[in-house]
């Protein structure tokens, strides 16, 4: 009986991926770097929008609307910067 509880607790812990706002803010440079790499590899916008970094940037934008721009804005800014 005790083993069943342990397995259930482990399965709940391993599949929880909720991030706190502080974690999203602290990881912002990493997400920007990942986005920059995807753009440099000439991935399409649809492929980039399915990436983890895009979802994290989007979550950060929705949590802190006044502080952070939409990921689309960041994408076009980085794309223009890398094309020059």
pTM of the prediction?
A: 0.71
Q: Is residue 74 part of a domain?
A: yes
Q: What percent of the chain has pLDDT over 90?
A: 50
Q: How many domains does the chain have?
A: 1
Cβ–Cβ contacts within 10 Å for residue 31, how many? 22
Q: Is residue 32 part of a domain?
A: yes
Give the range of the structural domain holding residue 59, as residue numbers without chain letter: 18-83
End-to-end CA distance of the chain: 63
pLDDT of residue 9 exceeding 60, the answer is no
Residue 68 per-residue DSSP state: S
For residues 51 and 43, what is the distance between their CA atoms, to the nearest angstrom?
11
| Averaged confidence pLDDT in the chain | 80
């Amino acid at each position: 009986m005790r083993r069943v509880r342990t397995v259930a607790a482990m399965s709940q812990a391993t599949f929880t991926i909720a991030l706190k706002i502080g974690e999203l803010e602290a990881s912002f440079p990493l997400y920007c770097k990942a986005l920059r790499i995807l753009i440099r590899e000439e991935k399409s916008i649809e492929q980039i929008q399915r990436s983890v970094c895009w979802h994290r940037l989007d979550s950060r934008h929705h949590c802190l609307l006044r502080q952070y721009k939409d990921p689309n804005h960041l994408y076009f800014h980085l794309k223009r910067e890398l094309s020059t």
